[in-house]
């Protein structure tokens, strides 16, 4: 396989930065990151593009940087999408088994999945992902592959992620305007979870929270499958905005204060402490109360977690996440955010690590890159699938022969 | 009543104040049994003496059932206190008659509020009110005028019956009781006439929609007259009687822009009779849109009864001088002006003058000519247009939380909360 065709690129258009991750799929299907490019994002609010021209420029910068670093030409990307319009829900499809001996065939499985996908969405919405969960045969739960089993009725649970068609089109149009193809769009939260979680963690159950500037995405895995996804159009920008409003400082200064002095927990020891606001000219003219700063931040972050917890509670999902919470995105850098998450969810919380990737390790082990890396990883899966399909005829022939040979050898 | 319309109209007659309660008690005893009657008063004692079945005591908290003592503001306050009860009493009605004697506290204060509520409840509101006798004093006259102005703004139609005109109908020896009985009869006539017009199945039908088209939305000043005659020349006599009616005095008919005429005759009603009556009325009201109906009833053998509702569009509000202070006395539009101030001084943002205080000054004095003119129901200005009678809650210029960075983006609303507003503000946590 040529080098160009084995390159997969993930592009995450975020609210504060745009990140392009170039990876290479090796022979065994693993992903090797070879380049990362990033640029400050200026035309995005709450995960959605508000200025296409600026965004196009920023995307170009990020892609060019990744190209230079990886020394490849980027022709197509896997594009991450997010925004408050994206929703996830579970649906179940039914199918009666018609064959005389009640054996479930491949056709039955395809039919039941097709039935499950027949969802009544608002006309302006489009499905982003359909993730297959478990099959049920005659009410028996937790079946991964029912082909070859016997039963009268087969059901399947799927998780559907959908969003507003026009708003999904916007980032695609921006990327296409740069003469870069979009291989597929991927929900950013799902991509982050791909980057952070190992199969074992998915099996045990985990909650991934990707807290960006504009949006907070969350994905719940349990029993190895996606149980729940969601987006809150609230993020780090809101924290800055709250600070700017509450401390009566300009937004840029609030942003700076958040990075320098912010924390997710109000520590009793900081009571009464103040931070002098330095000035380029002359002595500091003003100071802000550190406790106020922390309290404003704490309330906002706590609320975000509480909203997620409230979303997950009805399905009882919090009891199934034995691996706890994994945080990524820029929000994961806030000091003590994991103890806040532990408090709200009652689960162990930790910073997500992009373990399952090889490559530029030190550069990549940062929470902000989780989505980009996950997108590249999603691309590598697709790449592998496509390669299999592509080579199916030749390979199929080959495998049949080898099968025979081996058989013959055995015999 | 020989045939009832397929959809039965629900009509409610509400008497407000002592005069109103007496009048509807009087009506309830007569043949107007198809309607529901309701008496409203602020005084428990008057209500207890009232013969009607349904009664509503207003302002129990405010006045403890002792009446307003002639203060319309108290009446208004009482009505607004019991606004839910009023609303309930008006629900599901097609037509609400408000019968009241203006000039006192209860009727003058409550009637406009009730009219507004009834109208908001979807009913056509017709107010039939009396104005006090001249001997009752200037203050009562003024209050009555003010109440009338407000009522005109709120109701679909106001039929006004100045008591003073009754003196022309009665001779000098009539007792006081009889005089008031006549007044009550006239009010009852008004209600009955309109009700008959609506419910009697006619050859040429006048129905509810016709009445609506004459009255609704015009904030019209309406006048009402009914006359009966019998004998050979009944057609001529009835028109004569009608035109001689004190209630149509002062060019009410000639200046009307919509006239509803309903004739009821016996089976012997001839085309010539109808023609004669209508010719006369048409000649009188040349600029009006005339809607006519004719009905035949057996009991009217040899008789002819004509009911007429004349309605005139109120002059536009722009004629009212805006800058005029509430105390300006020289102009006839003063009562209108003060009524405007009373109702609108919260709302009239661009008015150049600022209202002196929330206290409502007593209605200004009127010249005798002007009083007469008003009594005849033709003020040159003052009635307010429809728009201003509606209550608009204007937005207060409070400082709202700026959304800062999210000013231009779609608000993030989650379970009814706008998440763009800082959490600590939404939760009301003070930063000391």
Q: What is the pLDDT of residue B263?
A: 81
**Confidence category of residue A189, pLDDT binned at 50, 70, 90:** very high
Instruction: Estimate the crossing angle of helix B72-81 against helix B138-154, to 10 degrees.
Output: 40
Q: What is the pLDDT of residue B399?
A: 55
Mind telling me how many Å the CA of B391 is from chain A's nearest CA?
A: 36
Q: What is the pLDDT of residue B210?
A: 74
B interface mutation test: which of A164, A255, A288, A296 has the most B CBs within 10 A?
A296
Using CB atoms, pick whichever of A238, A244, A295 lies closest to residue B431. Answer: A295
B206 found inside a domain: no
B277 found inside a domain: no
Q: Which residues contact B165 (CB under 8 A, 6 or more apart)?
A: B246, B247, B249, B375
B246 found inside a domain: no
B428 interfacial to chain A (CB closer than 8 Å): no
Q: What is the pLDDT of residue A82?
A: 92
Mind telling me how many Å the CA of A299 is from chain B's nearest CA?
A: 6
* Residues B329 and B193 placed together within one structural domain of the fold: no
Q: Which residues contact A164 (CB under 8 A, 6 or more apart)?
A: A85, A124, A125, A126
Mind telling me how many Å the CA of B397 is from chain A's nearest CA?
A: 19
* Residues B409 and B351 placed together within one structural domain of the fold: no
Q: What is the pLDDT of residue A74?
A: 93
Q: Contacts of residue B428 in chain A, CB cutoff 8 Å?
A: none
Using CB atoms, pick whichever of A84, A237, A303 lies closest to residue B423. Answer: A303
The encoded tokens of residue A221 equal: 């895995």
| Segment B388-407, tens digit of pLDDT | 455 666 665 555 566 667 77
Least confident of A342-351, A371-380, B191-200: B191-200
Spell out the long-range contacts of A381-389 with Cβ–Cβ below 8 A and sequence spacing 24 or more. Answer: A382/A8, A382/A78, A382/A183, A382/A184, A383/A6, A383/A8, A383/A25, A384/A25, A384/A29, A387/A1
| Segment A210-240, tens digit of pLDDT | 999 999 999 999 988 999 999 999 999 999 9
* Residues B48 and B174 placed together within one structural domain of the fold: yes
Q: Contacts of residue B427 in chain A, CB cutoff 8 Å?
A: 299
B408 interfacial to chain A (CB closer than 8 Å): yes
Over residues B323-343, mean pLDDT: 39
Residue A94 has pLDDT above 80, yes or no: yes
The verdict on a CB contact (< 8 Å) between B419 and A237 is no
Q: How many domains does chain B have?
A: 3
Distance CA A232, CA B412 (A): 8
* Residues B375 and B404 placed together within one structural domain of the fold: no
Least confident of A21-25, A275-279, A310-314, B340-344: B340-344
| Distances B141 to A46, B164, B402 between C-alpha atoms, Å | 66, 11, 54
Using CB atoms, pick whichever of A234, A289, A299 lies closest to residue B412. Answer: A234
| Segment B246-268, tens digit of pLDDT | 667 666 677 777 787 888 888 87
The helix (H) or strand (E) run that includes residue A220 is: strand A216-222
Using CB atoms, pick whichever of B408, B419, B429 lies closest to residue A234. Answer: B419
| A101 or A62, higher pLDDT | A62
| B190 or B95, higher pLDDT | B95
Domain of B84? 1-199
Least confident of A206-220, A336-350, A375-389, B75-89: B75-89
Under DSSP, is residue B258 helix (H, G, I), strand (E, B) or coil? strand
B135 found inside a domain: yes
Examine the fold and report which residue of B199, B219, B237 is the final residue of a domain before the chain moves on: B199
The verdict on a CB contact (< 8 Å) between B431 and A292 is yes
- CATH code for position B25: 3.40.50.1440
Q: What is the pLDDT of residue A227?
A: 92
Distance CA B93, CA A39 (A): 68
Q: Contacts of residue B424 in chain A, CB cutoff 8 Å?
A: 242, 246, 295-296, 299-300
Residue A316 has pLDDT above 70, yes or no: yes
| Distances B355 to B76, B185, B389 between C-alpha atoms, Å | 20, 42, 18
Under DSSP, is residue A103 helix (H, G, I), strand (E, B) or coil? strand
Least confident of A4-18, A287-301, B297-311: B297-311
Tokens 């005069």 appear where?
B19
Distance CA B423, CA A300 (A): 5
* Residues B19 and B49 placed together within one structural domain of the fold: yes
Residue B224 has pLDDT above 60, yes or no: yes
Least confident of A65-79, A293-307, B82-96: B82-96
Mind telling me how many Å the CA of B412 is from chain A's nearest CA?
A: 6
**Confidence category of residue A20, pLDDT binned at 50, 70, 90:** very high
Over residues A270-276, mean pLDDT: 86
CB atoms under 10 Å from CB of B28, counted, come to 21
Q: Contacts of residue A212 in chain B, CB cutoff 8 Å?
A: none
Mind telling me how many Å the CA of A400 is from chain B's nearest CA?
A: 57
| B99 or A12, higher pLDDT | A12
The verdict on a CB contact (< 8 Å) between B408 and A45 is yes
Q: Are strands B413-414 and A286-289 parallel, antiparallel or unpaired?
A: unpaired
B422 interfacial to chain A (CB closer than 8 Å): yes
The verdict on a CB contact (< 8 Å) between A232 and B408 is no
> Contact at 8 Å (CB) between A166 and A62?
no
* Residues B411 and B367 placed together within one structural domain of the fold: no
- Mean pLDDT across chain A, nearest whole number? 86
The encoded tokens of residue A174 equal: 């921006």
The verdict on a CB contact (< 8 Å) between B429 and A295 is yes
> Contact at 8 Å (CB) between B106 and B75?
yes
> Contact at 8 Å (CB) between A271 and A294?
no
Residue B112 has pLDDT above 80, yes or no: yes
Over residues A313-337, mean pLDDT: 90
B424 interfacial to chain A (CB closer than 8 Å): yes
* Residues B195 and B321 placed together within one structural domain of the fold: no
B412 interfacial to chain A (CB closer than 8 Å): yes
Using CB atoms, pick whichever of A46, A296, A307 lies closest to residue B422. Answer: A296
B406 interfacial to chain A (CB closer than 8 Å): yes
| B321 or A175, higher pLDDT | A175
| B164 or A374, higher pLDDT | A374
The verdict on a CB contact (< 8 Å) between A84 and B406 is no
B interface mutation test: which of A43, A46, A48 has the most B CBs within 10 A?
A46
* Residues B339 and B420 placed together within one structural domain of the fold: no
Query: Which domains are present in chain A?
Result: 87-163 (3.30.1490.110), 199-352 (3.30.420.40)
The verdict on a CB contact (< 8 Å) between B429 and A232 is no
> Contact at 8 Å (CB) between A160 and A83?
no
Q: Which residues contact B231 (CB under 8 A, 6 or more apart)?
A: B237, B302
> Contact at 8 Å (CB) between A136 and A101?
no
**Confidence category of residue B218, pLDDT binned at 50, 70, 90:** low
> Contact at 8 Å (CB) between A330 and A212?
yes
Q: What is the pLDDT of residue B385?
A: 43
Q: What is the pLDDT of residue B315?
A: 52
Q: Which residues contact B59 (CB under 8 A, 6 or more apart)?
A: B42, B68, B74, B75, B77, B78, B79, B81, B82
B414 interfacial to chain A (CB closer than 8 Å): yes
Percent of chain B with pLDDT over 70: 69
B191 found inside a domain: yes
Using CB atoms, pick whichever of A233, A251, A299 lies closest to residue B412. Answer: A233
The verdict on a CB contact (< 8 Å) between B422 and A303 is no
Q: What is the pLDDT of residue A241?
A: 92
Q: Is the dihedral of CA A203, A207, A213, A215 positive or negative?
A: positive
* Residues B337 and B410 placed together within one structural domain of the fold: no
* Residues B365 and B423 placed together within one structural domain of the fold: no
* Residues B172 and B130 placed together within one structural domain of the fold: yes
B101 found inside a domain: yes
B376 found inside a domain: yes
Percent of chain B with pLDDT over 90: 0
CB atoms under 10 Å from CB of A277, counted, come to 15
> Distance between alpha carbon A144 and the CA centroid of its chain, in Å?
24
The verdict on a CB contact (< 8 Å) between B406 and A244 is no
Residue A117 has pLDDT above 80, yes or no: yes
B420 interfacial to chain A (CB closer than 8 Å): yes
Examine the fold and report which residue of B166, B199, B232 is the final residue of a domain before the chain moves on: B199
Residue A404 has pLDDT above 50, yes or no: no
* Residues B22 and B165 placed together within one structural domain of the fold: yes
Q: What is the pLDDT of residue B5?
A: 46
DSSP string, B128-182: EEEE--GGG-HHHHHHHHHHHHHHHHHSSEEEEEEHHHHHHHS-TT--HHHHHHH
Closest alpha carbon within chain B to A301: B423
Q: What is the pLDDT of residue B143?
A: 85
> Contact at 8 Å (CB) between B292 and B204?
yes
Residue B217 has pLDDT above 70, yes or no: no
Least confident of A51-60, A251-260, B215-224, B337-346: B337-346
The verdict on a CB contact (< 8 Å) between A246 and B431 is yes
| B30 or B21, higher pLDDT | B21
What count of residues does chain B have? 432
The verdict on a CB contact (< 8 Å) between A241 and B423 is no
Distance CA B97, CA B386 (A): 19
- Confirm whether pTM is higher than 0.90: no
Percent of chain A with pLDDT over 70: 91
B53 found inside a domain: yes
């Amino acid at each position: 396989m040529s080098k160009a065709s084995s390159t997969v690129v993930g592009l995450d258009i975020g609210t504060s930065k745009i990140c392009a991750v170039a990876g290479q799929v090796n022979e065994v299907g693993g992903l090797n990151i070879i380049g990362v490019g990033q640029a400050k994002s200026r035309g995005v609010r709450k995960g959605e593009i508000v200025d296409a021209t600026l965004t196009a420029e920023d995307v170009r910068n990020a892609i060019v940087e990744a190209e230079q670093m990886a020394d490849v030409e980027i022709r197509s990307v896997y594009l991450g999408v997010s925004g408050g319009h994206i929703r996830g829900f579970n649906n179940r499809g039914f199918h009666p088994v018609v064959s005389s001996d009640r054996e479930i065939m491949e056709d039955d499985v395809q039919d039941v999945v097709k039935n499950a996908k027949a969802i009544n969405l608002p006309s302006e919405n489009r499905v982003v992902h359909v993730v297959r969960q478990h099959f049920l045969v005659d009410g028996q739960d937790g079946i991964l592959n029912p082909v070859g089993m016997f039963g009268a009725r087969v059901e399947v649970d799927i998780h559907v992620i959908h969003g507003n068609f026009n708003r999904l089109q916007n980032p695609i149009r921006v990327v296409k305007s740069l003469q870069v193809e979009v291989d597929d769009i991927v929900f950013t939260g799902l991509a982050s979870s791909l980057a952070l979680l190992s199969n074992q963690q998915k099996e045990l159950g985990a909650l991934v929270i990707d807290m960006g500037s504009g949006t907070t995405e969350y994905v719940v895995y349990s029993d190895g499958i996606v149980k729940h996804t969601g987006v809150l159009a609230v993020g780090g920008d809101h924290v800055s905005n709250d600070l700017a409003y509450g401390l009566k400082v300009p937004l840029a200064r609030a942003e700076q204060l958040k990075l320098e002095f912010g924390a997710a927990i109000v520590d009793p020891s900081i009571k009464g402490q103040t931070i002098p606001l330095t000035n380029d000219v002359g002595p500091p003219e003003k100071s802000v109360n550190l406790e106020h700063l922390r309290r404003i931040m704490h309330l906002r972050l706590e609320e975000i977690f509480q909203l997620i917890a409230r979303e997950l509670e009805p399905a009882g999902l919090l009891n199934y996440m034995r691996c706890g919470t994994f945080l990524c995105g820029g929000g994961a850098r806030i000091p003590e955010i994991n103890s806040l998450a532990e408090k709200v969810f009652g689960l162990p919380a930790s910073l997500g690590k992009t373990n399952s990737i090889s490559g530029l390790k030190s550069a990549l082990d940062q929470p902000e890159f989780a989505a980009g890396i996950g997108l590249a990883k999603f691309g590598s899966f697709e790449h592998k699938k496509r390669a299999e399909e592509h080579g199916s005829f030749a390979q199929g022939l080959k495998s049949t022969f080898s099968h025979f040979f081996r058989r013959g050898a055995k015999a | 009543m020989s045939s009832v319309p397929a959809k039965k109209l629900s009509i409610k007659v509400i008497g407000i104040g002592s005069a109103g309660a007496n009048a509807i008690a009087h009506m309830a005893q007569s043949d107007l049994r198809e309607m529901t009657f309701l008496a409203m008063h602020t005084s428990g004692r008057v209500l207890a003496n009232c013969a009607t079945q349904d009664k509503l005591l207003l302002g129990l908290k405010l006045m403890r059932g002792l009446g307003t003592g002639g203060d319309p503001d108290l009446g208004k306050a009482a009505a607004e206190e019991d606004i839910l009860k009023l609303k309930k009493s008006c629900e599901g009605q097609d037509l609400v008659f408000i019968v009241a004697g203006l000039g006192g506290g209860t009727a003058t204060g409550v009637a406009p509020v009730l009219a507004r509520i009834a109208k908001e409840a979807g009913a056509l509101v017709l107010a039939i009110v009396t104005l006090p006798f001249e001997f009752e004093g200037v203050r009562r006259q003024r209050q009555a005028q003010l109440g009338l102005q407000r009522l005109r703004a709120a109701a679909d139609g106001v039929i006004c019956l100045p008591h003073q005109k009754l003196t022309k109908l009665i001779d000098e020896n009539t007792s006081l009781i009889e005089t008031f009985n006549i007044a009550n009869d006239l009010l009852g006539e008004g209600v009955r006439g309109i009700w008959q017009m609506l419910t009697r199945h006619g050859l040429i039908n006048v129905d509810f929609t016709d009445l609506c088209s004459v009255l609704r939305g015009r904030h019209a000043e309406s006048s009402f007259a009914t006359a009966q005659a019998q004998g050979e020349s009944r057609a001529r006599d009835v028109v004569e009687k009608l035109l001689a009616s004190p209630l149509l005095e002062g060019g009410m008919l000639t200046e009307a822009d919509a006239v509803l005429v309903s004739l009821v005759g016996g089976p012997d009603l001839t085309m010539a009779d109808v023609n004669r009556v209508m010719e006369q009325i048409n000649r009188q009201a040349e600029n009006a849109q005339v809607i006519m109906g004719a009905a035949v009833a057996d009991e009217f053998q040899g008789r002819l009864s004509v009911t007429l509702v004349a309605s005139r569009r109120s002059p536009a509000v722009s004629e009212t001088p805006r800058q005029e202070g509430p105390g300006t006395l020289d102009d006839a539009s003063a009562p209108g002006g003060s009524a405007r101030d009373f109702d609108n001084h919260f709302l009239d943002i661009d008015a150049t003058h600022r209202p002196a205080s929330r206290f409502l000054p007593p209605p200004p004095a009127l010249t005798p000519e002007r009083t007469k003119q008003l009594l005849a129901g033709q003020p040159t200005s003052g009635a307010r247009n429809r728009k201003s009678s509606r209550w608009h809650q204007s937005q207060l210029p409070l400082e709202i939380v700026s959304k800062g960075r999210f000013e231009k983006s779609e608000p993030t609303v989650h379970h009814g909360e706008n998440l763009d507003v800082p959490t600590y503000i939404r939760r009301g946590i003070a930063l000391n």
